[in-house]
Amino acid sequence: MEIIEIRRGPVVIMEPRGCIDTSGAKPFGDRFAEMVRAGARNVLIDMQHIVYISSAGFRALLVAHKLVDDSQGKLVLCGISSELLRLFEIGRFLDLFTICATRDEGIARAS
Amino acid sequence: MKRPSNLIYSVAEEPPRLVCLISAWQQVATVAPLLVLPILIERAAGGSLGAVTNVVSLSLVALGIGAILQSLTSRWLGSGYLIMFVFTNAYFPASVTAAKLGGMPLVVGMTLMAGIVEALFAPLIRRMRPFFPAEVSGICVLLIAMLVGLLGIRQVFGLDESVTASGTSTGPEIALGIGTLAVMVGLNVWSKGALRMFCVIIGILAGVAAGFAMGVVNDTAFAAAVPAGIIALPKLSGHLPQFRLDLVVPFVITALACSIRAMGDITNAQRINDRDWVRPDMTSIRNGLVADGLSTALSALLGTVGGNTYSASVGLASATGVASRRIALWAGSILIALAFFPIAAGAIVSIPRAVLGAALIFNSCFILISGVQIVTSRLLDSRKTFVIGLALILSLSRDVFPGLYSGLPDIFQSFVQSGFVLGVSAALLLNAIFRVGVRSKVSMALDSGADAHGAIRNFLEQQGARWGARRDVMERAIFGTAQAVESIAAYCKPPGPINIEASFDEYNLDIRIGYQGGAFPLEPVRPTDSEIRDSEDGIRRLAGFMLQQNADRVRTMSKDGRATLEFHYEH
């Protein structure tokens, strides 16, 4: 899985591309953990290039959420398509994650 | 049925009387432009000025009854929606031919036959549904939008049917039309409430006022009606219907085209009144066609020309947010009442054509978008692309290059008498031809180590496009199948390939996944966040839960070492 990282002030923007499924969840999770260990506290995951997320991907997001929570940081998601949003809804994840419509909004919420 | 957010009053709601009155007048004002058609037919038959004015009064009665019949919700009659009845360009060429060959009695007789044909065709609609899929209905609506819009352009610029003739409208008339359109569009875009609701009638009134100020109102018809008195009973024409065998084909083709147009209009009316609209309600369409056919037959008996449902009135309801069927009762009553005031007929015909043209152009925009939305509500494959593309291009070519078709043998002339008939005929024919080779059940096999999501998406998207399936249902099926295959591969570890079979009809999509191994367990209850995150089977349990939530029905079975997971999606 390709992951692009950009920094905007205190916010680290993580832009994974492709599928966060059984094969994509591990590299995603490993990279996220590395970022937090390196000091990232305010993280925005831009999901505009994610075409599919499975239960393995949602577990990876849950682990990421806990890592940020444990380090008193903020995790925000943005760029979620209507189909992915539907998956968040049926998996009952909408109340757990902070979701913004745009990257700018996400950066503001994560700061 | 859920009311869309842009509607102020939907089909079953009862607006206040003032809203009903003004909305009804607005609907009446939009049907006024097409009163020009019976006038032209009567003139082609050699009718006097008095006969022309009388046919307008009789036409008002026909329009009024047509609107009321269409709004009925009885078991066999009426779609139940606000859709005005109006004289249609579709009948114009055949009616002019009949008028020249045998005068109004022949027009009346052939139109009566066409109306009866349309009413008799209505019960066959359900069986013939595969030949009228969503994209054909959408093409009808698109072609109608162009018909209405182009008629509006002709009215504003004073253009006749010839593509090379320059317009006869003067500069002030053109300015009047553009100004009227600007008022309507401006009110619709930038105002709210009553101003938006009544933007068309405000625009027409403003246009008439400006027309008087500019001296472009031709009140000849109005002046001719004054001697008849304030109130007068319209005289029945007394034409005894006549028939000619050589006119049967053009009138029957036109009746079929009007049926398809009515299907499109009724579908559009259903769509604008229901946020959750997914497919046409065929019972409402059948009853609407009966009403439309009977209205045409009644028009003929009254001594005027054939009509059809009016797309612009559906567009107006969408634009103003007032779609209550009660408006049809008010509008129908107003039209019938106006028939008893000869001056009203004269005044309607005296509205500057540029003003009426502006109203037509305004409404055509909403009809056009509705047609686009109907066409794109389903996945499209190359078959459907060609049905839509070729039908539209052929339709345009008939209007832009009429000489191209004038040399065709007589047997084909009925099908090319107008761009609308040609486009619809082409869509029906191509749709029927392209049904060859479309299977309702397909399958694929997947190695459990393969990139499941990509392969499944390609397979189901391609198949969904062939079937013309709804996008949202196919997305659910793609997720469900990919998640299931991923989970089966990870937890059931089948030694052989995973077989995926998909079957489809207009109401059901079923996906059946078969493999060697034990059944994959489904979860009725969502595991907790910590269970998902920290336990060994957290991912599996979340998958089992999401698969259950994603489909309308899920079944898992296991027999003789072979397991099957079945998903049912309502389409």
Q: State pLDDT tens for residues B42-100.
A: 877 888 777 877 888 899 999 999 999 999 999 999 999 999 999 887 787 788 888 88
Q: How far is CA B138 from the centre of its chain?
A: 6
Could A52 and B479 be called an inter-chain contact, meaning their C-beta atoms sit closer than 8 Å?
yes
Domain match, B307 and B406 both: no
Domain match, B476 and B563 both: yes
Q: Spell out the residues 6+ positions from residue B433 whose beta carbon is closer than 8 angstroms to its own.
A: none
In a domain, B6, yes or no: no
Domain match, B342 and B383 both: no
Q: Which residue of B has its CA nearest to A88?
A: B546
Could A52 and B490 be called an inter-chain contact, meaning their C-beta atoms sit closer than 8 Å?
no
pLDDT bracket for residue B359 (50, 70, 90) = confident
Could B543 and A59 be called an inter-chain contact, meaning their C-beta atoms sit closer than 8 Å?
no
Distances (CA, A) of B355 to B170, B191, B197, B201, B212: 13, 21, 18, 11, 12
CA distance A13 to chain B (A): 23
Could A90 and B549 be called an inter-chain contact, meaning their C-beta atoms sit closer than 8 Å?
yes
Partner residue facing A91 (CB), from B452, B540, B542? B542
Query: In terms of DSSP bridges, do strands B85-87 and B307-309 run parallel, antiparallel, or are they unpaired?
Result: antiparallel
ipTM of the complex: 0.94
**Any chain B CB within 8 A of the CB of A54?**
yes
CA angle at residue B129 from B125 to B133, to 5 degrees?
130
CA angle at residue A36 from A31 to A42, to 5 degrees?
115
Q: What is the pLDDT of residue B228?
A: 63
Rounded Cα distance, B227 and B230, in Å:
9
Contact status, residue B336 vs residue B64, Cβ threshold 8 Å:
yes
Q: What is the pLDDT of residue B530?
A: 93
**Any chain A CB within 8 A of the CB of B487?**
yes
Partner residue facing A56 (CB), from B457, B526, B539? B539
Distances (CA, A) of B175 to B29, B353, B354, B513: 20, 12, 9, 65
Residue B226 DSSP one-character state: G
Per-residue pLDDT at B165 exceeds 60: no
Contact status, residue B533 vs residue A66, Cβ threshold 8 Å:
yes
Domain match, B333 and B390 both: no
- CB count within 10 Å of CB B46 equals 11
Could A54 and B486 be called an inter-chain contact, meaning their C-beta atoms sit closer than 8 Å?
yes
Find the mean pLDDT for residues B386-391: 94
- CB contacts of B452 in chain A (<8 Å) are 21
- CB count within 10 Å of CB B163 equals 11
Could A22 and B486 be called an inter-chain contact, meaning their C-beta atoms sit closer than 8 Å?
yes
Residues B106-135 as b/e (b if ≥16 CB within 10 A, e otherwise) read bbbbbbbbbbbbbbebbeebeeeeeebbbb
Q: What is the pLDDT of residue B52?
A: 79
CA distance B420 to chain A (A): 37
What percentage of chain B carries pLDDT values higher than 90?
A: 43
Which superfamily, per CATH, for A2-105?
A: STAS domain (3.30.750.24)
> Which residues pair with residue A11 across a beta bridge?
A8, A42
Q: What is the pLDDT of residue B161?
A: 57
Q: What is the pLDDT of residue B312?
A: 82
* Structural domain count, chain B: 3
Q: Which residue of B has its CA nearest to A23?
A: B451
- CB contacts of A52 in chain B (<8 Å) are 453, 457, 479, 482
Q: State pLDDT tens for residues A40-88.
A: 999 999 999 999 999 999 999 999 999 999 999 999 999 999 999 999 9
CA distance B467 to chain A (A): 21
- CB count within 10 Å of CB B87 equals 30
| B308 three-state secondary structure | strand
Sheet holding B508-516, edge to edge: B441-446, B498-505, B508-516, B562-570, B553-559
Domain boundaries, chain A: 2-105
Q: Which residue of A has its CA nearest to B451?
A: A23
Q: Which two tokens stand for residue B258?
A: 């009007």
CA distance A38 to chain B (A): 22
Which among B507, B504, B464, B458 is positioned nearest to B482, based on CA atoms? B458
Chain A with chain B: Cβ pairs closer than 8 A: 58
In a domain, B309, yes or no: yes
Residue B300 DSSP one-character state: H
**Any chain A CB within 8 A of the CB of B475?**
yes
Rounded Cα distance, A75 and A66, in Å:
9
Q: State pLDDT tens for residues A9-34.
A: 999 999 999 999 999 999 999 999 99
- CB contacts of B529 in chain A (<8 Å) are 62, 96
In a domain, B299, yes or no: yes
Distances (CA, A) of B61 to B22, B65, B296, B303, B307: 20, 6, 12, 11, 13
Contact status, residue B292 vs residue B70, Cβ threshold 8 Å:
yes
- CB count within 10 Å of CB B280 equals 22
Could A59 and B538 be called an inter-chain contact, meaning their C-beta atoms sit closer than 8 Å?
yes
Q: Spell out the residues 6+ positions from residue A18 whose beta carbon is closer than 8 angstroms to its own.
A: A1, A2, A24, A49, A50, A51
Dihedral angle, C-alpha B15, B317, B88, B261, nearest 10 °: -110
Domain match, B394 and B322 both: no
Last residue of a domain, one of B330, B353, B371: B371
Last residue of a domain, one of B420, B438, B456: B438
- CB contacts of A87 in chain B (<8 Å) are 479, 546
Domain match, B362 and B392 both: no
Which helix (H) or strand (E) segment is B294 a member of? helix B282-302
In a domain, B10, yes or no: no
Domain match, B170 and B211 both: yes
In a domain, B5, yes or no: no
Could A52 and B482 be called an inter-chain contact, meaning their C-beta atoms sit closer than 8 Å?
yes
Q: Which two tokens stand for residue B162?
A: 């010839």
pLDDT bracket for residue B224 (50, 70, 90) = low
- CB contacts of A58 in chain B (<8 Å) are 532, 542
Q: How far is CA B353 from the centre of its chain?
A: 25
| B22 three-state secondary structure | helix
**Any chain A CB within 8 A of the CB of B493?**
no
Q: Spell out the residues 6+ positions from residue B219 whose beta carbon is closer than 8 angstroms to its own.
A: B346, B350
What crossing angle do the helices spanning B538-550 and B471-487 adopt, rounded to 10°? Answer: 150
Dihedral angle, C-alpha B94, B97, B103, B108, nearest 10 °: -10
CA distance A33 to chain B (A): 14
Rounded Cα distance, B42 and B56, in Å:
10
> Any alpha helices (H) in B435-559, and if so which ranges?
452-467, 471-487, 529-534, 538-550
CB proximity under 8 Å: B 117-156 to A: none
Domain match, B452 and B427 both: no
CB proximity under 8 Å: B 531-550 to A: 532-533, 538-540, 542-543, 545-546, 549-550
> Which residues pair with residue A2 across a beta bridge?
A17
Last residue of a domain, one of B352, B371, B390: B371
- CB contacts of A21 in chain B (<8 Å) are 452-453, 482, 486
In a domain, B2, yes or no: no
In a domain, B11, yes or no: no
Domain match, B385 and B481 both: no
Q: Which residue of A has its CA nearest to B551?
A: A90
Could B540 and A90 be called an inter-chain contact, meaning their C-beta atoms sit closer than 8 Å?
no
Domain match, B48 and B79 both: yes
Domain match, B320 and B222 both: yes
Contact status, residue B27 vs residue B313, Cβ threshold 8 Å:
yes
Q: Which two tokens stand for residue B191?
A: 């105002």
Find the mean pLDDT for residues B137-152: 82
Q: Is the entire prediction scored with pTM above 0.90?
A: no
* Range(s) of the domain holding residue B144: 17-371
pLDDT bracket for residue A99 (50, 70, 90) = very high
In a domain, B12, yes or no: no
Q: Which residue of B has its CA nearest to A93?
A: B529
Domain match, B247 and B309 both: yes
Could A54 and B549 be called an inter-chain contact, meaning their C-beta atoms sit closer than 8 Å?
no
| B426 three-state secondary structure | helix
